[in-house]
Chains A and B, each alone.
Chain A
């Protein structure tokens, strides 16, 4: 099985974030591999270990931070990495990403595309599904279990509105995973050392056989006008002391003041 896994450089959401003049203050921000993509990498590695599989990660973007996340994937056990670095992609949306990934898919002979179900910077959860639509491939999103039946069939489970949905999937397919699917392994020292020496194939749009216009860079469907700091919810009153007394008091406040009981 030949697996393509998408990994995205995203801002580390554990750090504080500030908005000034409608833009995010980038000072002090750090970038990491999207958490859901780590689950996709882990899912691919588990398939590789249980069955035979070739694994390739692809990341859109340039610079050291993107190289760092590709090397992290290498250190986890991924065999190949591709970086799509082109200045035209700076403000790419899900449709543009999907058209670029379509080109990457067409250059290889992949049986499965594994992706995180969403990126923690946009929280959109669109690219994988749109990519599948463009490629005319089946797609299952929010997946928490993958089982190989044979070379061209998988059994997958996803979290739906009313429980766990079980599906039979015919490859090639796009699968986007939820964090519940696995616990990503931590790279070990040996892996990190080896990862440093591994090559990263770097392509721009021309080398991919396409243009900024063809992937839709000139015709965005939406534009972010500004970022706004959300109203922060202020902590209210904290009650400490005799549990019986404070609990009774809080229940009275919920009835009389908040009027929610």
Chain B
């Protein structure tokens, strides 16, 4: 039987949905499951970690782990992987996962795969599917090594409605700090905003919004919908949006139930970050904009005219 260790995604003291999604897939594959959680003051998360579908919980809880630091955090994951004799280690889709996974693979001498969207067992060997070349192709890859470390793409696996889990905590000793790449500070540029990765609905703004007033208008639509608020790279480069809100190949990859693209033409790098959304609505005044090639519903019109009406109509149906 396969043994799969899932690295918990924790944000502001909450276990994120991706942890349950990954554990659900692991259980569906018939694997023994464990989770490893790293941070400071996270012991209280034990019930939530078990409820997410794990049967063993490795906890690295230490004040020195308050801020993310890839080297030491990877050491905790390696420690848990060794203790659990994991043959797979899965990370949810995150910047920390992308930074840790190659470190963990190198230290475990395991195969490493980024962005996987499927895992199967074929004649006892693990096969994965992942997009490559800016989402233009999928690769089916056979893992030849005994062990695999993988980052799972956002939205690839569904959370099971019912999932068993038992509390069985194992404390990990704190790792050595990385003094040669020492984390000093994290400047939060997201504040208390809804996280793009967790949001059911994401509203994104593109160059069509022109200026700060346009961005504010589109943001008010996101606020009405209690949605995550993202943008294209152009709006980040122009200084209207922080890096953490960039949706696309080089930013966040999102797969919400509803993605609303406002004033976004649809460059392939942006499409690569949102094509996995269940339903896409696009508002753009250019009827030839490539975004309409992927949108389920497209409104051809000036966003400054359409967004206020959209807000009104949504308010009507939500009453």
- Partner-B contacts on A (CB < 8 A): 11, 13-14, 17, 19, 24, 36, 94-95, 118, 120-126, 129-130, 133-134, 137-142, 144, 158-170, 173, 178-180, 220-230, 233-240, 243-244, 246-248, 250-255, 258, 260-261
Contact = CB atoms under 8 A, between A and B. Distances in A.
9 contacts: A162-B11, A165-B186, A179-B250, A221-B111, A227-B138, A235-B298, A247-B301, A250-B281, A260-B201
A124 B151 CA distance: 10
B292 A238 contact: yes
A235 B133 contact: no
A236 B107 CA distance: 47
A166 B186 contact: yes
B250 A222 contact: no
B188 interface: yes
B160 interface: no
Which among A129, A180, A234, A255 has the highest number of chain B CB atoms within 10 Å? A129
A14 B134 CA distance: 9
Interface in B199-241: 201, 233, 236-237
Interface residues of B, number: 90
A253 to B, nearest CB: 6
Given A230-B137, A243-B305, A139 B181 contact: yes
* 8 nearest A-B pairs in the assembled complex, by CB-CB distance: A133-B106, A138-B180, A138-B181, A221-B111, A129-B102, A236-B296, A163-B188, A251-B313
Contact of B243 (A180, A239, A258): A180
Nearest to A219: B144
Given A130-B102, A235-B295, A261-B314, 6 more contacts: A122-B133, A144-B243, A165-B186, A223-B144, A238-B300, A253-B297
Given A159-B243, A254-B258, A233 B275 contact: yes
Interface of B is mostly: mixed
Contact of A251 (B11, B236, B310): B310
A17 B272 CA distance: 15
B33 to A, nearest CB: 23
B304 to A, nearest CB: 10
Nearest to A126: B102
Contact of B278 (A122, A161, A178, A260): A260
B11 A161 contact: yes
B181 A163 contact: no
B99 A129 contact: yes
Interface of A is mostly: mixed
A228 B131 CA distance: 9
Given A123-B132, A163-B187, A240-B300, A230 B138 contact: yes
Contacts of A228: 129, 137-140
Given A140-B181, A163-B244, A250-B297, A17 B136 contact: yes
B71 to A, nearest CB: 7
A132 to B, nearest CB: 8
A240 B317 CA distance: 22
B172 interface: no
B137 A229 contact: yes
A123 B131 contact: yes
